[in-house]
Structure 1
């Protein structure tokens, strides 16, 4: 296995992003020679994988669409197996500016997970209506869980240190909002620390978001439901076998 502990793995989940992913990979590679890029082609039906490979990324092709959570768990597994101690998600659609990768990574100097946060007095990213209400509510709840102030609990622009990589390999849910909310709650319950770094988001280069107008109208209820399940979920205590008391008594 190649020693990569001093390098950073950039994980790019991509589903039908052939028009965007090549430019995103090129921007990442131009940002720093220390960044290695792996694109997780999440069951795309277009040329996403070929475009990413031509741009210089390592490409892992999933046989069908698993969603961002499944793609990211694949990426973190790759990071673990290849000895990376820092990994960061960058979306293929161009909204995450590769210039800010170093800034988000700097948060790992004081925490296990660093979130590139919108709504933190940087940039002009704006969300209105139910999505905005949901984000405010989610940020307040996640701030209590993480025991630190968070303004953007659903940002996917987040970095993981070695403890977080280990945690995400063990548990990184694929269901709706699991990749942002549930994964963060589970990490906090496991004792990991979280911080945020303010960043500016950019608009998509091409195409539309996977959440359309109809999706936005039900965003609030789905988000609250997903967070409720995540907060209620607790690790089950290990069962003590009948042989364990006997050994303890013998000791």
Structure 2
């Protein structure tokens, strides 16, 4: 089985200078692809100098876009995705590949609390893991980890679903669970990144909040819409009971809540059918 290692990079000259020599030593026969996402520093030159294949874009398209470009260009049967900022240890790849050989389709490197970039990021990731575990019925240990190995043919089935932003790990993981492809997690150490993070707290915080809803609608929409529909229905029923006892009336508010309950449930049914069509293959 041939292996391709894909590193999305945007202004990661320092991280690549540290990571690529170690990566080459650990994976001497692997194809190494650095996707230069519109960098303004020496990212492309350093990657090329270390013998990596460089795919450059004239402007930044996003982390997910870099992953998609790298996956399309890779020739390996196995794809290894890792960050270019020096956080991920190339020495861990061998253990991830060994786990993949046990019959899994994707193996994800799972960070512990010490590997999270701050308390707020750690708390948010813990919530994503909990929600994804509830939705899928599997113990999701790190939904947003960018360090993973995966079978190339299966990963490419879902390239059209991946966003251009930072949530490609979430989307790909949920897509694998939804399609009954096996996923495993392995604990990994995480070093302090070199350079400045490209995540913007306010804008990306709102975007990560939307990921919560995307997780639910991507995997099993009815698991999200049915509880919401139930809340509207029970609220309408309680309000009707109150107005009936106090005023002997069926109010417009009760009708509105009952109608909202039905509408939300029907939207859930339509979303479930759309999701089934997306994963039909």
With normalisation by structure 2, the TM-score equals: 0.72
User: How much has 1:35 moved relative to structure 2?
Assistant: 2.0
Pairing partner for 1:118 from 111, 116, 140: 111
Are 2:217 and 1:232 equivalent residues in the alignment?
A: yes
Query: What is the CA-CA distance between 1:194 and the residue it aligns to?
Result: 1.3
Does the 8 A contact of 1:138 with 1:224 survive in 2?
Answer: no
Paired with 2:26 and 2:49, the residues of 1 have a C-alpha distance of: 18
**Which SS does the other structure have where 1:151 is aligned?**
coil
Aligned equivalent of 2:12: 17
**Which of residues 138, 141, 166 in structure 1 aligns to 2:131?**
141
Q: 2:195 aligns with which of 207, 216, 225?
A: 207
Tell me the alpha carbon deviations over residues 141-182 of structure 1, each in whole angstroms, 9 at most, x when there is no partner: 22234442122111100111134322243432213x421212
Q: Higher Cα Rg: structure 1 or 2?
A: 2
Match of 1:194 in 2: 183
**1:174 counterpart residue number:** 164
2:208 match: 223
Q: CA deviation at 1:93?
A: 0.7
Number of aligned residues: 222
Query: 1:131 touches 1:219 (CA, 8 Å); kept in 2?
Result: no
Q: Which runs of 4+ in 1 moved over 6 A?
A: none
Question: Whose helix fraction is larger, Structure 1's or Structure 2's?
Answer: 2
Q: Is the 8 Å Cα contact of residues 115 and 197 (structure 1) preserved in structure 2?
A: yes
Displacement of 1:11: 0.2
Q: Provide the residue aligned with 2:148 in structure 1.
A: 158
1:101 aligns with 2:93: yes
SS in 2 for 1:73: helix
* 1:92 aligned onto 2:84: yes
The answer for the alignment partner of 1:242 in structure 2 is none
Map of 2:24 onto structure 1:
29
Q: Once structures 1 and 2 are overlaid, which stretch shifts more, 28-37 or 163-172?
A: 163-172
Q: Label 1:126 to 1:178 Cα distance change in 2 as closer, same or farther (>3 A).
A: closer
Which of 172, 175, 183 is the equivalent residue of 1:183?
172
Native 8 Å contact 1:43 1:65 kept in 2: yes
Note closer, same or farther for the CA distance 1:202–1:54 as it changes in structure 2 (3 Å cut): same
Deviation at 1:96, TM superposition (A): 0.4
Going from structure 1 to structure 2, the CA distance change for 1:114 and 1:139 (only over 3 Å counts) comes to same
Instruction: Specify every segment of 5 or more residues in structure 2 that has no aligned partner in the other structure, as ranges.
Output: 219-273
TM value normalised by structure 1:
0.79
Indicate how the Cα distance of structure 1 residues 44 and 67 shifts in structure 2: closer, same or farther if over 3 A, else same.
Answer: same
Please, what is the CA RMSD of the aligned residues? 2.2
What is the deviation of 1:24?
Answer: 1.3
- Determine if contact 1:167/1:187 at 8 Å carries over to the other structure: no
Q: Distance in 1 between matches of 2:10 and 2:117?
A: 23
